[in-house]
Structure 1
């Protein structure tokens, strides 16, 4: 069997896993499914593309490829700026929409429907500003290097996998070893009790939005580097993101990443052996199977 689909699945799975972490944190702490989360991936990629283009125009040397990679220093710098700007966008969305609904005592379904509306608005703004034509961080052609017989990967793909592994480890350590992370876990377990013991739930909510948006921005940029950038890229990844969040267990960061990799591999193998037209169905089938057979996910706890 050819091993190449495994590499493609790992790359796509790393992107799905990073995006799914934001979904699982939002759901476990804010208690609603944020369907606008996929748009944060798109906005992160386009913000980075814009900043990278401006830097390249001002300082052309920043566009010179870094060693074996297809991009120059303009992209890492743009990534940092995009993370900040995407986090600010998420905080604005919470202040203008979701926060007001929470304070008004809106039920969960209202928040979910509001997230649908926010997703449509954010996606249409991107399409209006950048058109629907695909964009690229670089048009440089990369040749895959043989890692194992039948398994090749470009330097960009290897970077995506490594960056995904480093980030999920950092987030896990943040949640388990820092005061802010422990506060987030406490609010996830019992918001009322967390408030009674003096935890600032508003600060926790801000942290959730910042962390989720930052990871979504990185996932969008990673996708833009190895594939392409489109206004609908986040929308296309939305079902795999939710499938990974539920499969991994709501609230579990390692679970979201592992489930994302599993879904990425399943999609790649489906394309290889069944056909590309069935790729979109894989996440749906996995999602339904998990909800029927193990609703708490791989690392989740069963309801008492």
Structure 2
């Protein structure tokens, strides 16, 4: 087996872990599985692409590659704007759809089905605006650098892996060391009791949407940078995202990232062992195995 699968799996797993954090936070606070979460990855990537292109038109110097990387300063600047816009998109979807259903006291299955509808609508709108043709942040080619032990990686891949790990650390510190993080954990434990204790539940919900969407946007941008951007980018990652969220334990940020790495490595190993056509089945097998043998995941709390 080629040891390169370890590097490929770690990089793919880091992107899965970032997206899975949004899934696990949404479920722990709002108590439903949001199947539209994958579309936030796609929207984040396309928004960054559009903003980056606009900045490049204003100043071509912003498109000049930074050091060993394939992109210029237009992409980091566009990423910041895209994260904010993706967060606003998530808030808009919640205000128009999920918030109204919660106010009516709709059953969980209604919220889940509504998320399917939101996913389809967002993906169709994305295809209408940008077409189905793959897009790229840059056409520059990078040569993978030897890392030792038969492993190779490009500067973009190493940067993406580092950013993903730093983002997870930042979210973990936010959840454990800040007032809003403690409020989020309180709402996750008991929304009604948290509200009685003075926690602004609506504010917590807004923060969760912004945080989850921002991380999804970041994952989408880095996935698009390393591979390509297309409307089905997030949809194709949806099953791995849920597998990682459940394996890591609902509500656990470090667990989601660790599980994402496990899913990514498992998929990369499957490609080496049985072929790329079985890659998608790995996440499903992991998901079923966790639900059967350890439903609370690696770091989830027992009921």
Same fold at TM > 0.5: yes
Structure 1 CA distance, aligned partners of 2:56 and 2:3?
Answer: 37
Normalised TM-score (structure 1): 0.99
Aligned residue in 2 for 1:252 = 252
Aligned residue in 1 for 2:73 = 73
Aligned residue in 1 for 2:9 = 9
**Structure 2 residues without counterparts, runs of 5 or longer:** none
Shift, 1:302, TM fit: 1.9
Structure 1 CA distance, aligned partners of 2:203 and 2:256?
Answer: 24
Q: Deviations over 1:270-303 (max 9, x none)?
A: 1112100000000000000000000000001222
Aligned residue in 1 for 2:25 = 25
State the SS of the aligned residue for 1:254.
Answer: helix
Q: Deviations over 1:241-261 (max 9, x none)?
A: 000000000000000000000
Aligned residue in 1 for 2:100 = 100
Aligned residue in 2 for 1:180 = 180
Shift, 1:97, TM fit: 0.5
Q: Is 1:166 aligned to residue 166 of structure 2? A: yes
Note if contact 2:48-2:75 (Cα within 8 Å) is conserved in structure 1: yes
- Give the length in aligned residue pairs: 303
Aligned residue in 2 for 1:194 = 194
Shift, 1:201, TM fit: 0.3
Q: Deviations over 1:162-220 (max 9, x none)?
A: 00110000000000000000000000011111011010100000000000000000000
Aligned residue in 2 for 1:242 = 242
Q: Is 1:222 aligned to residue 222 of structure 2? A: yes
Structure 2 CA distance, aligned partners of 1:74 and 1:272?
Answer: 36
Aligned residue in 2 for 1:261 = 261
- Alignment map for 1:81-96 (pairs within 5 Å): 81-96=81-96
State the SS of the aligned residue for 1:77.
Answer: helix
Normalised TM-score (structure 2): 0.99
Q: Deviations over 1:106-151 (max 9, x none)?
A: 1100000000000000000111111111111001000000011310
Aligned residue in 1 for 2:126 = 126
Structure 2 CA distance, aligned partners of 1:71 and 1:199?
Answer: 43
Structure 2 CA distance, aligned partners of 1:217 and 1:60?
Answer: 25
State the SS of the aligned residue for 1:147.
Answer: strand
- Alignment map for 1:133-172 (pairs within 5 Å): 133-172=133-172
Shift, 1:2, TM fit: 2.3
**Structure 1 residues without counterparts, runs of 5 or longer:** none
After the TM superposition, list the runs of 4 or more consecutive aligned residues in structure 1 that deviate by more than 4 angstroms: none
Structure 1 CA distance, aligned partners of 2:157 and 2:254?
Answer: 21
Q: Deviations over 1:38-60 (max 9, x none)?
A: 00000000000000011111111
Aligned residue in 1 for 2:41 = 41
Aligned residue in 1 for 2:282 = 282
Structure 2 CA distance, aligned partners of 1:164 and 1:192?
Answer: 34
Structure 2 CA distance, aligned partners of 1:93 and 1:196?
Answer: 27
Structure 2 CA distance, aligned partners of 1:82 and 1:266?
Answer: 31
Structure 1 CA distance, aligned partners of 2:164 and 2:80?
Answer: 15
